[in-house]
Each structure stands twice: as C-alpha cells, then as structure tokens.
Structure 1
C-alpha cells in the first residue's frame, strides 16, 4: 500500500533517526506515539507527528500493527530507505520518473504527474493544484536527501 503523507524533508538523515527513535519499541496507539513525537522529537503538532508516523512506516523505519506504531530496531540504511520511498510513497516513483537528465521545476514535475492525483483529492480543495505541487516538491526534496535526485539550476534532476 502506498502512503500519501510526506513531512517536509529535513536537512539530514540524522533527523529521520531522531524522529524514529522517539517512537516506542513496543507498539503504542497513534495518539500516544504522536504525543511522544511532539514531546521528544519536536514535531510541530499532532498533524505533523501523524504525517511522520505514516511516512516512517512507508520507509520501514516504524511498524504499524493492530496496537499502533512501534520502532523498528534495524539501522536506517540510505539505499533501503530510498528503495522503500520509491515503492511505498504515493507519487514518489512517478515524480522521479518525470525527472530526466535536464533540470525540472517542481511545477513541471507536478504537471507531468497531475493525472495520477485521485479525483476525490481534486474536489476536496479549491486550490488542489497548489496543494499537490507542494506535495510533489516535498517528494523531490526527499529524493534529494535519499540520493535519488539532486538540486540544480533552481530545479531537480535525476541522479
């Protein structure tokens, strides 16, 4: 299953480890985990904490169980995270595929993948294009952090 929530990309993978390490080893409810991320990892609010949990589950850094979320003990290998990102995050592979050897802006990448945004997402917001352009840009920023893309000339290109 692909996940949609993607928090803004941090400056380094150290922040990903910091947030992951705030999740308990023994699964707890989403509410309890969100509270821990706000208190221990400095997540802005419950919504930001929830986005981190879902995203970390997509990356395989935390596990979602019937009881809630629990931290995975495995080390966070950049290549494994990159593979899971591409496979498990909605529009990540599409955005990367839209990148070429030439630099693309996040707006151009959004245009290339916009048909994949579900219809219900389009009707949910009046400015769905702006909302999803930002979401595509977040995916591109994560792609840079994970070594799948690079920033160049005011845009992005595939590595």
Structure 2
C-alpha cells in the first residue's frame, strides 16, 4: 500500500521523534489522536495532525486500529524497541516503499549520478557533482509519466509535494541539499 499524504518536513529528526513519542502505545489510551498531537507537539491543527498520522503509518511508525492510532514499536525480531523504530535506514526504506512518489524522486537523484554528464538537448543537469533543482526533478518525473503514456491533467506533478518529498529524503538521509538543489546522499550518517 502506498500513502499519499506528506506533511511539511520538520527542521530536524528530533521533531519526528517528538511526534512519534506523542502517539499512545495502546489505541484506547487517547480518545482523539489528532487533538492530542496538536496539544503535545509542534503540529498546528487537526488537518496537519491527520496528515502526520497517515505519514507515520507510511513510515511504519504508527498503526491504525479500531479508528484510532497507536505507536508501533518493533525491532527486527518483533520485540519492543523505540530506537529500532526510529532507525534512519529503516525509515528511509519505508519512505521509498510506502510513500507515493518518494521512490521516483529518489530514483531521479540516483539517475542523475548514473548518467554522468549532460546529454545534448537535455534540460536536466546530470552531473554527480551538481544538484538537481526541484524543477529538474519534476521534469524527470514528467518524462517518466509521459513515457508510460499516463500524462494527463490529473497526473501532473505537484511542485510543493515534490519539494516536501525531497526535504523528507534529506531528513531521512537519502538525499542532501547541495548548491541550489538536491542530490543523492553521498555519505550516510
């Protein structure tokens, strides 16, 4: 299953941890998860809290049960462990696999490295030392959709969403900001 909602990325991983830890460990601990997140975290309103809850499900940090949410705490052996849940490598894999468009955005950055120098007539810089701007990533995504024959008004790429995906990729260690754009992360923290 792929999830579409992508909240504004926070400035740091600590904010993600704060939101994660604000989730109850049992669904019946809190009556209104959205209101609870607004009260306990920097999230400003219910709509943003709902987006965060869905996104946390995508990252496999939360699970929905009986119309409510709870924190998902598992390590690779299935035991409880907060640190395993917040592992950036694991979160990066979930982000790419479960957030709609995340893998395509990361693949666009990876393809820029693989292709090397700019092809004649291409409007996309494809040098590993140069970052791709949001517009260049969008052009790559648009090319992919056109090649698949699915280009339509409904399938147009939302620049704000692409930028949020890129910023989440940076936060999760999959990409880095460079110059006036983004490139695949050259080193992992």
Partner residue, 1:145: 171
State the Cα distance separating 1:134 from its structure 2 match.
0.6
Partner residue, 1:77: 87
Coordinate RMSD, CA, aligned: 2.4
Greater RCO (CA < 8 Å, at least 6 residues apart): 1
> Alignment partner of 2:170: what SS?
helix
- TM (norm. structure 1) is 0.85
- TM (norm. structure 2) is 0.73
Segment of structure 1 superposing worse, 54-63 or 22-31: 22-31
Segment of structure 1 superposing worse, 12-21 or 113-122: 113-122
Q: Please show how residues 92-103 of structure 1 align to structure 2 within 5 Å.
A: 92-99=102-109, 100=112, 101=128, 102-103=130-131
Partner residue, 2:20: 20
**Following the alignment from structure 1 to structure 2, what is the Cα–Cα distance between the partners of residues 48 and 94?**
24
1:78-130 deviations in Å (ceiling 9; x for gaps):
111011001110000000111122310111112222439995845xxxxx65x
Partner residue, 1:125: none
Contact 1:38-1:44 within 8 A present in 2 as well: yes
> Alignment partner of 2:44: what SS?
coil
Contact 2:30-2:36 within 8 A present in 1 as well: no
**Following the alignment from structure 2 to structure 1, what is the Cα–Cα distance between the partners of residues 25 and 154?**
34
Contact 2:24-2:30 within 8 A present in 1 as well: no
1:37-75 deviations in Å (ceiling 9; x for gaps):
111113111111011101111001111223421112332
Contact 1:29-1:68 within 8 A present in 2 as well: no
**Following the alignment from structure 1 to structure 2, what is the Cα–Cα distance between the partners of residues 77 and 18?**
14
1:7-64 deviations in Å (ceiling 9; x for gaps):
1111211111100111111125998110111111131111110111011110011112
Can you give the 5+ residue segments of structure 2 that lack an aligned partner in the other structure? 74-80, 113-127
Change in Cα spacing, 1:151 to 1:30, as seen in structure 2 (3 Å) is: farther
Of the two, which has the highest radius of gyration?
2
Partner residue, 2:140: 112
Contact 2:63-2:70 within 8 A present in 1 as well: yes
